[in-house]
Amino acid sequence: MPPKRSGFTRLYFATIYSCRGIKAAFSSEAAVRQEIVAMALLIPIVFILDVTNSERVLLLFSLFIVLITELLNTAVEKLSDHVSTDMHELIGKAKDIGSAAVFISLILALVTWGIILL
């Protein structure tokens, strides 16, 4: 096990590990790629819209929550596949629950954008 790091060294390595995680998720999951493309299109629009700063923050939060949830779901799926590639009831439930979390985050984003824009 590597030694415990602290201060800026820990922050440096945490940033490297996070970038690796985003890269791994991007390269292995179509949903992550789709959500990042959607964010790349929608984030500039957030700054063009005639909305309050509070509404702008809510629009941005809703997009990032979708990506965060998708990354966590991807982590559950990868870990589940590492544990067993066989069909297993509990692994199936874990994957379904992760998928449900992504679905709910997408609904939250749609409702947020709908309320603010309509």
Any domain includes 6: no
Any domain includes 47: yes
Any domain includes 18: no
State mean pLDDT over 8-32.
95
**34 among annotated binding-site residues:** yes
CATH number, domain with residue 82: 1.10.287.3610
Express the helix, strand and coil content of the chain in percent, nearest 5 each. Answer: 85, 0, 15
Which range marks the domain in which residue 92 is found?
30-117
Any domain includes 14: no
- Using pLDDT thresholds of 50, 70 and 90, give the confidence band for residue 4: confident
**109 among annotated binding-site residues:** no
Q: What pLDDT score does 6 carry?
A: 85
Domain count for the chain, please give it. 1
Any domain includes 34: yes
Phi, psi of 51, deg, nearest 5 = -130, 165
Instruction: Write down the pTM of the prediction.
Output: 0.89
Amino acid in position 33: R
Q: Encode pLDDT of 28-67 as tens digits.
A: 999 999 999 999 999 999 999 999 999 999 999 999 999 9
**5 among annotated binding-site residues:** no
3-state secondary structure of 27: helix
Would you say residue 3 has pLDDT above 80?
Answer: no
**95 among annotated binding-site residues:** yes
3-state secondary structure of 1: coil
Q: Does the active-site annotation cover 70? A: yes
**80 among annotated binding-site residues:** no
Q: What is the CA radius of gyration of the chain?
A: 17
Catalytic residue among 62, 70, 71, 73: 70
